[in-house]
Amino acid sequence: MRVFFACLLAWFTLSSAPAFAQGKRPVVAIYEIEDLSGNNLAPQFSTMIETAITGTNKFRVMERSGMNKLLREQGGAKAGLLTTNRPGKVGGFEGADYLVYGTITTISAKQKSNFGASLLGGLGNNGPSPNCSNTVASLEADIKITDANTGEVRYATRISEVQKGSTSCGTAGQIDTAALLRGAADKVATGLVITIYPIQIAAVQPDGSFVLNYGAGAITPGAIMTVFQKGESIVDPATGEVIGNNETPFGQIQITDVQPRFSKAVPVSNFAVMPPVGSIVRVATQAELSSAKKKKR
């Protein structure tokens, strides 16, 4: 009987644990996207965010039909949501672990004169030189990602995406709206992924190079990144909440190869101790790069 109840307790514990605690990928739902620019790009942006998040292979994305069903069940409410399988609990959202909210605030384009192209375009012509320019398009979007079960904001940022178009002479350049949206969607996916699952060293090679647990979309070839040793947690004495961790920098590495699901890097600074597997990796700040240059001198 003791064995029976022990097994029953173990089964209950596993079945009631969050999906991501059982090795399953968390579920993300694109809850609400708005377009204040007046270009009706919210549906397209939502689809691109779904594609970008799915491409990270770290999350499952709730299909639009499933999302619409939940919205109907909850009356489209944005606060005080009640779930059907959690009677009386406020703030939960059945079926999703994280919710993505977004607002496209502005989309604009500016013509920047290209004097060199104008000069070259006029050589050999009897008439005046054509006016050549490049179209620089920009998109601004506010993004917020919340924990669907607690309502806690896990990630909030303003995304700025800029695209420079090809040179055009005598005619107005075109805005590649799709490229703007896709670039912004990739940043949303990267922000979500790195917030929940930080970039880490997955393996240390015999030649001293490193393999990171992220690839295309999250890491850029040639990027300089800083490796950190994760230390003790910093706890808010008022709430008991973990608000951060003490971190010690090992040094900098440079990305040499980016694959779909992993990347390779080599040290670009001297490591007093070789970083172990699991060390945290982030894009190096200007201050960290300046400090590394001073140490080299």
Q: Enumerate the β-bridge partners of residue 167.
A: 134
Q: How confident is the model at residue 257 (pLDDT cuts 50, 70, 90)?
A: very high
Across the range 269-291, mean pLDDT stands at: 87
For domain 201-296, the CATH architecture is: Beta Barrel (2.40)
Q: How confident is the model at residue 150 (pLDDT cuts 50, 70, 90)?
A: confident
pLDDT over threshold 90, residue 289: no
Please classify residue 109 by burial: count the beta carbons closer than 10 Å to its beta carbon, then call 0-12 exposed, 13-18 middle and 19+ buried: middle
What's the CATH fold of domain 25-196?
A: Double Stranded RNA Binding Domain (3.30.160)
Q: Where are the alpha helices (DSSP H) in the chain?
A: 2-16, 42-55, 64-73, 115-122, 177-196, 286-296
| Selection from 66-75, 76-85, 93-102, 277-286 with the highest mean pLDDT | 277-286
Of 82-86, 91-95, 147-151, 157-161, which gets the smallest average pLDDT?
82-86
Domain map (residue ranges) of the chain = 25-196, 201-296
Of 81-85, 182-186, 189-193, 213-217, which gets the smallest average pLDDT?
81-85
- pLDDT at 140 (0 to 100): 94
pLDDT over threshold 80, residue 159: yes
| Selection from 1-5, 9-13, 95-99 with the highest mean pLDDT | 95-99
- Going by the DSSP 8-state scheme, the letter that residue 97 receives in this structure is S
Q: How confident is the model at residue 24 (pLDDT cuts 50, 70, 90)?
A: confident
pLDDT over threshold 50, residue 13: no
Per the prediction, the chain carries an average pLDDT of: 77
As a whole-number percent, the residues of the chain with pLDDT over 90 amount to 29
pLDDT over threshold 50, residue 3: no
CA–CA separation, 143 and 155 (whole Å): 8
